[in-house]
Structure 1
Amino acid sequence: MSAIVSQKQSDHAAAAVVTVHALSCGHFSLPEYQFVHPVSRDARRTVPSLAFLIQHYNQSTKKRTRLVFDLGLRRDIKRYAPPIQKHVETRQPMSTDPDVTKSLAGGGLVPEDIDYVIYSHVHWDHIGEPRDFPTSNFVVGHGSLALLDGTSSSLRGGHSFFESDLLPEERTIELSEPWANVLTKHDSCRGTGDINFSGSWQTYGNLPQTLDVFNDSSLLIVNAPGHLPGHINLLARTSPDHQIYMGGDACHDRRLLTGEKTIGEWNDVHGQVCCIHADRKQAEATIDRIRGLEKEGVEIIFAHDVEWENDPKNKTRFFGAEQSVDG
């Protein structure tokens, strides 16, 4: 049993949990040399764009809260901004069926049932179609709004174009700067179940900055720097002895976790060295922390985790695969 799980069990007589279901949100093709090294220049891999439905039930108030982590590929790629459409040409073949709304419908939910959409980050293959969620609040990591506004430092690569009108201002929450107010001990016993996107970031096991979403340790937002400003992950407890880490784009290939490969770099048409991660050193540190979680028994799932998707035992872990949700 992991040290983190053991720590939390000792803190809680009856540990609060959430349910987690995968949502299929399209597939596309990646040139492997832009993600791992060494690899053939011509090697390509078709990967999923996964999202996740997380449901929390407060035993005291009887309130159910539904969150979706990422929205995957946009159903109509012609609705992407022109620079993204040009980039999408390099990611063919691509399929956007099912998209996130169709995957939710497979389990009996509509977008209006979703209280919050949490973005791991605002790259094109994770943002989906926010207008499909007219009543949801959107949550993004610190620095994401500067990217959308075009006020952040420039990033190289066609994938790093951002839509200034992506999110509804009145329904968008940007998390606080993770390093500004970190507490040294995780306050794990409040147990209110109230939603929390504005509290203090706290250490948790080997994770230096986490935010306790429901104040009961059932779901943590994890600062996961390196890939893009505002990049965040989720750590969910689904039973007293099992946790799932949703790693977004912290890692694009499981061979980086095993050490078989290192992060890829390439030269663009101007001769500039490019990396899929905005800060490679921070990305490597984030991957190292995730590697530590996996060694402790935490289940790791990345946004483009083709190995996880192709594992037959995970087929029933997609929303609606067995039965629709209750309530």
Structure 2
Amino acid sequence: MTSQSSLNIPASGSTVRISIIDTSLDAYLPTSHFFGPTIKGFEDFHAVAYGFLVTHIDKDGKERRIVFDLGTPKDLENDFPPPIFETIKAMFDRLKVEKYVSEILTEHGISLDSIESVVWSHAHLDHVGRPSLFPKSTSLIVGPGVKEAYYPGYPANSEAPVLSREFEGREVTELDFSPTDLEIGGLKAIDYFGDGSFYFLSAPGHAIGHLNALARTTEGTFIYMGADSFHHSSMLRPHAGFRLPTDVRLPSLCCAGEAFNAIHPLSNLDEHPEYYQSALQHPSNDKNETPFHTISQTPEGQSLAVDIQTARNVIGAVQKFDADENVLVIAAHDTSIYDVLEYLPKEANDWKDKGWKEEGRWLFLQDLKPALDLSGALGKPQ
């Protein structure tokens, strides 16, 4: 089936130009805070952060630009409210940001005056950036509930993750998905430019107003901007659409795919807490089409996700997009594909011709090599 029919993407000949922005985040994070259950030998992971420059040109030649996600601002102590800065110090042992997204755009000849809107996929510290570095004419687009929860910023709103200067004097548009009947891949959608070239998708659960986006890169190909729907590709794959390959051949890892069965949580499910057992349970107990991880939670049910079951359901929706050969899924922090992608000023519209999806699909398995080494599974029949 084509993308249009299987995912209910309306047919259109209109496209947008997409450039991926390396927002310069360099961080090492504990896996247990983001996904679980913990696999011995894989206790932390490396995270980058992607933003996207989206350029739309209509039939009359009028150009409009938006930026989806702004990464982490670089002056952590002064760019965040004090409570958020304290959270950063407690959570991150190694976190470095070299540039603001506004700097990156300017360095590549993109006038900030040409940016119609900046978009927060959600209001977490590694996505909000510094809207205040853009002209007042640049609006801020947020998901449902974000204004109610955080406007007008800190200190007037003590719960706000950003300072009031990030809202001040700027149009803040909160998307409303309730009137729309359009669903793409099971997620409510808004056709932003009105011609089928770019859609905002409601992807709730991870955070208040969490957004994903779908950009048409050619008439029949798309880039799916997954934001924080998953933090590592071991939360997404394998799945029924992409089973674990029989033979894994990667730059630093070559082995039989079945070697990974030894470290898959389904191999020792009884040793994990019940809340992980139920989340990972597969109808056929098939390790080759069940992700290695799910969204993490504590025994008390606490999680980074504001609604953990809804967030897990969104991952299921993203798997449908991922299963389509004409859709390239890029989550905000997927470091495994960092060396596959190309960045601003280059464009990503020809991603399929360049084979990015095939090249990057299983690269995340390299992060599991230490766990394979500890298990002694390499070279052993399973």
Aligned to 1:187: none
2:331 corresponding residue in structure 1: 302
1:144 corresponds to 2:146: yes
Aligned sequence identity (%) = 26
Higher deviation after alignment, 1-10 or 39-48: 1-10
Superposed CA offset, 1:153-204 (max 9, x none): xxxxxxx85236232364111112x2x3232xxxxxxxxxxxxxxxxxx223
Runs (4+) of structure 1 exceeding 3 A deviation are 5-12
Query: Aligned-pair distance for 1:107?
Result: 2.2
- Of 253, 257, 261, the match for 2:236: 257
Please list the CA deviations of residues 16-73 of structure 1 after superposition, one character each: whole Å capped at 9, or x if unmatched: 000111111122221101112122588222211211101001122x110010001101
1:49 aligns with 2:64: no
1:185-204 matched pairs, under 5 angstroms: 202-204=182-184
Out of 235, 242, 246, the position equivalent to 2:225 is 246
Matches within 5 A, 1:176-191: 176=176, 178=177, 180-183=178-181
Distance 1:44 1:150, change over 3 A: farther
**Residue from 318, 321, 325 that aligns with 1:290:** 318
Deviation at 1:126, TM superposition (A): 0.6
Cα displacement (A) at 1:320: 1.9
Show CA shifts across 1:197-227 (max 9, x none): xxxxx223x2341000111110000000111
Provide the secondary structure at the position in 1 that maps to 2:188: strand
Q: Partner residue of 2:367?
A: none
Secondary structure at 1:124's aligned position in 2?
A: coil
Q: Deviations over 1:57-98 (max 9, x none)?
A: 1122x1100100011011211121111111111213112113
Normalization by structure 1: what TM-score? 0.80
Q: Which secondary structure state, in structure 2, belongs to the residue aligned with residue 275 of structure 1? A: coil
Structure 1 pair 146–275 and aligned structure 2 pair: CA distance change class (3 A): same
- Per the TM alignment, residue 260 of structure 1 is displaced from its structure 2 partner at its CA by 1.4
Task: Report the equivalent of 1:196.
Answer: none
Give the aligned residue type for 1:87: T
Whether 1:125 aligns to 2:126 is: yes
* Equivalenced residues, count: 283
Q: How many Å apart are 1:146 and its aligned residue?
A: 1.8
Deviation of residue 2 (structure 1)?
A: 3.5
Q: Root-mean-square deviation (CA), in Å?
A: 2.5
| Structural mapping, 1:73-92, within 5 Å | 73-79=72-78, 80-89=80-89, 90-92=91-93
Answer yes or no: is the 8 Å Cα contact 1:210–1:223 preserved in 2: yes
CA shift, 1:4, in A, is: 2.2
Q: Do the aligned residues in 1 keep the contact of 2:4 with 2:10 (CA within 8 Å)?
A: no
C-alpha separation between the residues in 2 aligned to 1:7 and 1:113? 33
Larger Rg: 2
In 2, Cα distance between the equivalents of 1:100 and 1:210? 26
Q: Which residue of 1 aligns with 2:199?
A: 220
SS in 1 for 2:73: coil
**TM-score (ref. length: structure 2):** 0.69
User: Following TM superposition, by how much is the alpha carbon of 1:9 offset from its aligned partner in structure 2, in angstroms?
Assistant: 9.0
- What SS is found at the alignment partner of 1:95? strand
- Give the one of 169, 192, 211 matched to 2:190: 211
- Answering whether residue 97 of structure 2 is matched by residue 96 of structure 1, we say yes
Give the gaps of 5 or more residues in structure 1. 152-159, 184-201, 323-327
Cα deviation code 1:251-291 (max 9, x no counterpart): 11111111111211136xxxx54211110111011110100
CA contact (8 A) 1:5 1:243 kept: no
- What pairs with 1:232-243 in structure 2 (closer than 5 Å)? 232-243=211-222
